[in-house]
Amino acid sequence: MKVVVSKDNSGAVRRVPMGLASRQAIIAYIFLIPAFIYFTLFFFIPIVIELWSSLHSDDVGNAFVGFENYIKAFEDQRSLNSFVLTLVFSVSVTIFSMIFGLFLALLLNQSFRGRTFLRTILLIPYMTSAVIVGLMWRNILDPLIGILNKVLMTLNLPTQDWLSNYQAAIWALVGITVWQAMGYNMVLFLAGLQGIPALYQEAAKIDGAGTLARFRLITIPLLAPTTLFVSIISVISSLQAFTQAFIITNGGPAESTRLYVFHVFNVAFSESKFAYASALTFLMFLAILLLTFVQLRINRNGVEY
């Protein structure tokens, strides 16, 4: 920050009063100091420590091994399978949660009685703790003691085994995650819809455009910034999914729901391979960074209205 000084007729140095903008900048930086300290202590320093740990061995002595742990990750079939499974999970959750979120936003953007109540109800799953959601769905879908199977048996209907079926378990987690996330996506899409000027829709109606034509030619293009934001946060959050696999299925059956973060957790705390787990964590960080960059490049053309 520059200190502006001037000299009077006698040659004495005189301070010029600081401008309003400078004072506001100083006050802003003062208020940012706690956040800077927080991120330094609990974010940046742990990242540096973890990066340093990933370059060492898990053996006694923790010898420096360079990128050996990273090379090992690409040769570890369990880690590769877990990463591919997580990609499938992430893409599925992102697509379906965006579709349902947009559908609900379009529905609740209409004027009718009780829409505020419905918005609140649909947002409750997102506001509920992921642990509580996981325990609830585990009790509902448990093939032996689950509430759903008891109801189906009472009605003399076939029971379900989604959580114990090798092929169905991951899709059960996808459905549960979509159910929890679509309310949040609905709120974001609703904000985007309400930010689109009404005159465009009115002009299209005058020109004779139908509902589907207006949705395809006006709503979707002008909703692009919101869609980009929703897709990015959905991909990032679903790639880091952990609670679903940990609480509901514990990675089973036969590791069919062993999501990547759950795999890293087990490598670190069950197998005591903290250095290798640190390397796996940084590889996921790079994957998220790359996917976010790709999404931004695909949607690099902004929309102005």
In sequence order, the β-bridge partners of residue 64 are 56
Say whether pLDDT at 6 is over 50.
Answer: no
pLDDT at 1: 46
Say whether pLDDT at 275 is over 90.
Answer: yes
Percent of the chain topping pLDDT 90 = 60
Structure tokens at 304: 């102005």
220-255 tens-digit pLDDT: 989 998 999 999 999 999 999 999 999 999 998 989
Say whether pLDDT at 171 is over 50.
Answer: yes
pLDDT at 302: 54
The domain segmentation of the chain, as residue ranges, is 5-54, 75-298
How many other C-beta atoms can be found within 10 angstroms of the C-beta atom of residue 107? 14
In sign, the C-alpha dihedral spanning 96, 98, 101, 107 is: negative
pLDDT at 145: 86
CA distance 77 to 271: 16
Say whether pLDDT at 204 is over 90.
Answer: no
Q: Is 177 helix (H, G, I), strand (E, B) or coil?
A: helix
pLDDT at 147: 92
Mean pLDDT of 207-232: 88
Structure tokens at 234: 């959905």
pTM: 0.86
Amino acid sitting at position 257:
T
Pick the CATH number of 75-298 from 3.40.1800.10, 1.10.3720.10, 3.30.70.560, 3.40.50.2020: 1.10.3720.10
CA distance 76 to 275: 15
7-64 tens-digit pLDDT: 555 555 555 456 677 888 888 899 999 999 999 998 889 889 888 999 999 887 789 9
Structure tokens at 221: 């293009």
Say whether pLDDT at 263 is over 80.
Answer: yes
Mean pLDDT of 128-142: 93
Least confident of 2-6, 129-133, 227-231: 2-6
Mean pLDDT of 97-107: 95
Least confident of 148-152, 158-162, 195-199: 195-199
